[in-house]
Structure formats: C-alpha cells, structure tokens
Structure 1
C-alpha cells in the first residue's frame, strides 16, 4: 500500500548528494539503501492555492509550472530493530533554502 504525504522533513545529505538520514514526525530514520532517483514536475497547483508560497507576479505561473523536484526513493528504518520501509523524499532545488518533503511511503 502506498500512502501520499507532503510533510516537511529534515534530511542529512552525504556524498554524492545522496540522503543518509531524515527526521520525520520527530523520529530519525536511517537510509539503508537508495533504490532510485528521478526528477518530476512539482504540483504547481498546490503552490497556487497556498497563500504563503503563492508568487503572483507577472509570469510567475509559467515559472511555477516549470519547476521540478528531485525525488529519491530510499529504504530506511527508524532503528536497527525495526523493519525497513520504502520512502520517497523530494528535494525542491528551485526553492530558497534547503526544502525537503516526504511525498510517499510504501508499506
């Protein structure tokens, strides 16, 4: 079963720019393996609905539609005694700062 989220997460990145660990809902998850990595377009319509992120300047809708995020599919667990799960971490490289979010969890 795959569940969708858009929860912000704090990610520790190693070399070569791969996630090593992340904190989700106050719990540390250690990345055991990187299964895949790809780029996908951001859900620009969510940005348009979010008043905090909305950029309503001229031409901003075109820029928002073109934004991409890099997604990492990782196998991680909250400890060595817990079974690992599969998590999709998205990094919005076009946003100011270092914004990561957890977008999918597969059980």
Structure 2
C-alpha cells in the first residue's frame, strides 16, 4: 500500500461511514467498507504532572480510520471501460483537529 498524507473532503453516509470523498480533484464513491478501527492518541498532554492522578491532565483523542473500496465518479467505478476506476483507500479522521486525510492507497 502506498502511503500518503493528503487532505480530502469526505461526505458521510447514513451509517456515518465515508460515502464519497474528493481526492486530488477526483470524486470517489465508496463501494464497501473493508475495515474500521481507532488509533489512540497520546495518553496525556502536559508536563511531568500530567501522569499523576487528579492532576487534571487532558486526554487527547486519537484518529478513526476506514479502509474502503471506492470507485471513481458518481457511479463508483462501475464503468466497464475503465478497469483502473476502483481502488482500496485508508481514510482517517483526526478527532483533535476535525480533519480528514487519505493515508494509504492500494490500486
């Protein structure tokens, strides 16, 4: 899988999973969610006091990831004339800043 760190615009579907995303000027339609998982952020933020119970240290949220199969365009790559129109992507949503990133692609 190729690694990326590209910002993407994501539109979520009814199940709150990614439904469509815009990457490098191309629209991709999610055909299937292959996997979904969470990655924890740092356990604590702050100085040496952060690890002590009752210190009021803020927990930092991690990121949520989806591995999706997606096709290009509104039809989701269902055009028989374009075999390169479908790929598998890893999309991440960072809870700390509210941004989506495309972090991997297997085409």
TM-score (normalizing by structure 1)? 0.71
How many positions carry a matched residue from both structures? 89
Equivalent-residue separation in structure 2 for 1:75 and 1:29 (angstroms): 9
Equivalent-residue separation in structure 2 for 1:64 and 1:91 (angstroms): 20
TM-score (normalizing by structure 2)? 0.71
Larger radius of gyration: 2
Deviates more, 1:75-84 or 1:17-26: 75-84
CA contact (8 A) 1:41 1:65 kept: no
CA apart distance, 1:90: 0.1
CA contact (8 A) 2:60 2:96 kept: no
CA apart distance, 1:17: 0.9
In the alignment, does 2:36 pair up with 1:37?
yes
RMSD over aligned Cα, in angstroms?
Answer: 2.5
Q: Could you tell me which residue of structure 1 aligns to residue 54 of structure 2?
A: none
List runs of 5+ in structure 2 lacking aligned partners: 51-56
Q: Could you tell me which residue of structure 2 aligns to residue 93 of structure 1?
A: 95
Equivalent-residue separation in structure 1 for 2:101 and 2:35 (angstroms): 16
CA contact (8 A) 1:87 1:105 kept: yes
In the alignment, does 2:68 pair up with 1:74?
yes
Q: Could you tell me which residue of structure 1 aligns to residue 18 of structure 2?
A: 19
